[in-house]
Structure 1
């Protein structure tokens, strides 16, 4: 079966819950050299990953989700993504990591309570 290539990401609890419940199908990362080097071999030549492992924290007991990796897209516009909980994400110029089927979830015991009011978030303001 060989070694699987895995992309490791860390997100905050809000985004983790949206991914774990199947609502969030893309994870956005700012267009920076760091992410370019992790996601691309060269211009227009994305790296191949088999899976994505997303953690919410750095402790051994932190929630972890393993998903299929479905590639990466470039987002160049002021795209607006609205989630059912009222959160609006405006990723700006970014890399959109496409998430496939959930393969495994560990140490997650369900979603925390969602914000009650509409929340607008710009990707450039997030700390991953």
Structure 2
């Protein structure tokens, strides 16, 4: 399999935990921006249902995002995660910002673990990028 890298920018607190091995999951909110980066959807115009195209959802439809519908589409094969193999974490937006690359174990949807995100988000569902 060809190496596919997802680049994520994180704050120093989380970056340091990732580098030390204390943090092995990163979370991204289920909104159109992250859906378009992390999900692929079957294009029904093509007879070859193995053909996937990037998912694009307009900002006006963010309020209509149904997490259960996304999970159902993931389960029935009409949607899948982009096959990223690695995640490159950056602490900052400059070329010389600290970086660390980790192998991705899985990308799923679920609730975050205590201590790996701000406490106020523990009852929310996110895209979970689990890495080694």
Structures share a fold, TM > 0.5?
A: yes
Q: Which runs of 4+ in 1 moved over 6 A?
A: none
Q: CA RMSD in A?
A: 2.0
| Corresponding position: 1:81 with 2:114 | yes
User: Bigger shift: 34-43 or 47-56?
Assistant: 34-43
SS of aligned partner of 2:103: strand
Unaligned runs of 5+ in 2: 42-72, 75-79
Unaligned runs of 5+ in 1: 101-128
SS of aligned partner of 2:17: helix
Q: Which has the higher strand share?
A: 1
Closer/same/farther in 2, CA of residues 64 and 89 from structure 1, 3 Å limit: farther
Q: Which whole-Å CA distance do the structure 1 matches of 2:113 and 2:3 have between them? A: 33
Q: TM-score, normalised by structure 1?
A: 0.65
Q: TM-score, normalised by structure 2?
A: 0.63
**1:25 aligns to what?**
24
Q: Which whole-Å CA distance do the structure 1 matches of 2:127 and 2:25 have between them? A: 9
The CA deviation string for residues 3-43 of structure 1, in whole angstroms up to 9 with x for no partner, is 52110100010000010000111001101011111111124
Q: Which whole-Å CA distance do the structure 1 matches of 2:109 and 2:2 have between them? A: 27
Instruction: State the number of aligned residues.
Output: 94
The CA deviation string for residues 71-125 of structure 1, in whole angstroms up to 9 with x for no partner, is 21111x5x55125xxx74634121111112xxxxxxxxxxxxxxxxxxxxxxxxx
Bigger Rg, which one: 2
**2:82 aligns to what?**
47
